[in-house]
Amino acid sequence: MNKKTTYWTIGIVAALILIVIVWLLAGSRASSDANKGNDANNQNSAVVTPAQGDDSQNGDSQGSGTQTGDSQVDDSQTGDSQTDNSQAGDSQTDNSQAGDSQTDDPHAGHGSSSNSNSQAPADDQLSAYLQEESTIMMDMMDGMENIDESGYAATDFLSGMIPHHEAAVAMAKSYLQNGAENQELIDLANSIIETQNKEIEDMNALVQEYRSADKKDEEKAKAHLKEYREMFDSHDDMMHGSSANSVDAAFAQGMLMHHEMAVEMAEDILEYTDEEAVITLANNIIATQKQEIEKMEDILDQLNAD
């Protein structure tokens, strides 16, 4: 075989091989397309029958709900499986039951909210009163610790008792303006305002009289001031925060301690003065405020028992 014949033979064989390859590829593609078509038909037939059956079940169980109808149309359009539709129906049933549960107890959760709301004003009033009481006490202590020493015990006593009385009046007014409820304490607060305002007037008049007369007794004044200064340390608890849970209790606690200080001041001055007006005032303070202390102690016992 010469060289030319060999080339023709090789070319023919290559062409035959190429034809066989093309034929095999074409056959494989046709078979694949046919299988896909069959799968699509099978899927379409499988979707229609279950969806219709489940939709009818959903319609029976849900009655007149318009939202249920919408979900059935969506199910048939999307071709969801029967299992998905039945789960949707169960979910809707659960939702309707949850709605019924909420309807059966329209007051659920309202009790705690109501209690919280009713408690809020009382807490606000207590906070407002305690804040005012703290300010009143600090102003009182500042006035009492910085009296203008006169060299006369009676004058110094009056100069310290005036801001003390003013604080009592301010506390009583604050109590009445911040949720006072206990009638006995309300009566006491009004009595304090009336009685101590009158005593403030009398004490201011006496201070003016004694200063104008330039009355002096340095030895007694010095001894009195020593006890007066020491008294502040024994009543330091007046400046600590209250543990009361109501305005009534807070007022009674604060005023009780306030009265105890007034009684001690009045008892101290009796040792250092001969002024009849001051002796009378001091004895009135002792008698009146000791009675009020006993009354407040009884009221606090009642409030704590409640």
Q: State the CATH number of the domain containing residue 223.
A: 1.20.1260.10
* Residues 233 and 157 grouped into a single domain: yes
Is 107 a domain residue? no
* Residues 52 and 131 grouped into a single domain: no
Cβ contact 168:257 at 8 Å: no
Q: What is the C-alpha to C-alpha distance for residues 145 and 231, in angstroms, rounded to an integer?
A: 11
- Confidence band (pLDDT; 50, 70, 90) for 146? very high
* Residues 286 and 145 grouped into a single domain: yes
> Where among 36, 66, 100 does a domain terminate?
100
- Confidence band (pLDDT; 50, 70, 90) for 39? low
Cβ contact 102:72 at 8 Å: no
Question: How many structural domains comprise the chain?
Answer: 2
Q: What is the mean pLDDT of residues 32-45?
A: 50
* Residues 60 and 167 grouped into a single domain: no
> Where among 54, 70, 100 does a domain terminate?
100
Q: What is the C-alpha to C-alpha distance for residues 220 and 240, in angstroms, rounded to an integer?
A: 32
* Residues 77 and 166 grouped into a single domain: no
Structural domain boundaries, residue 78: 3-100
Residue among 144, 142, 140, 139 at smallest CA distance from 225: 144
Is 298 a domain residue? yes
What does the longest C-alpha to C-alpha distance in the chain come to? 163
Is 163 a domain residue? yes
* Residues 146 and 249 grouped into a single domain: yes
Q: State residue 29's pLDDT score.
A: 64
Q: What is the C-alpha to C-alpha distance for residues 165 and 194, in angstroms, rounded to an integer?
A: 11
What is the distance between the terminal CA atoms of the chain, rounded to a whole angstrom?
Answer: 130
Q: State residue 234's pLDDT score.
A: 80
* Residues 186 and 74 grouped into a single domain: no
SS3 at position 179? coil
Q: What is the C-alpha to C-alpha distance for residues 202 and 129, in angstroms, rounded to an integer?
A: 29
Least confident stretch, 5-19, 50-64, 150-164: 50-64
Does the pLDDT at position 77 exceed 80?
no
Is 115 a domain residue? no
Q: What is the mean pLDDT of residues 99-126?
A: 52
Kindly state the tokens that stand for 162: 């005036």
Q: What is the C-alpha to C-alpha distance for residues 257 and 176, in angstroms, rounded to an integer?
A: 19
Does the pLDDT at position 145 exceed 50?
yes
Least confident stretch, 72-81, 164-173, 222-231, 284-293: 72-81
* Residues 186 and 275 grouped into a single domain: yes
Burial class (CB in 10 A: 0-12, 13-18, 19+), 295: middle
* Residues 163 and 249 grouped into a single domain: yes
* Residues 126 and 266 grouped into a single domain: yes
Cβ contact 227:268 at 8 Å: yes
Alpha helices in 63-182 (DSSP H): 66-78, 82-104, 110-145, 153-177
Higher-confidence residue of 277 and 119: namely 277
Q: What is the C-alpha to C-alpha distance for residues 153 and 175, in angstroms, rounded to an integer?
A: 33
Average pLDDT, the chain: 77
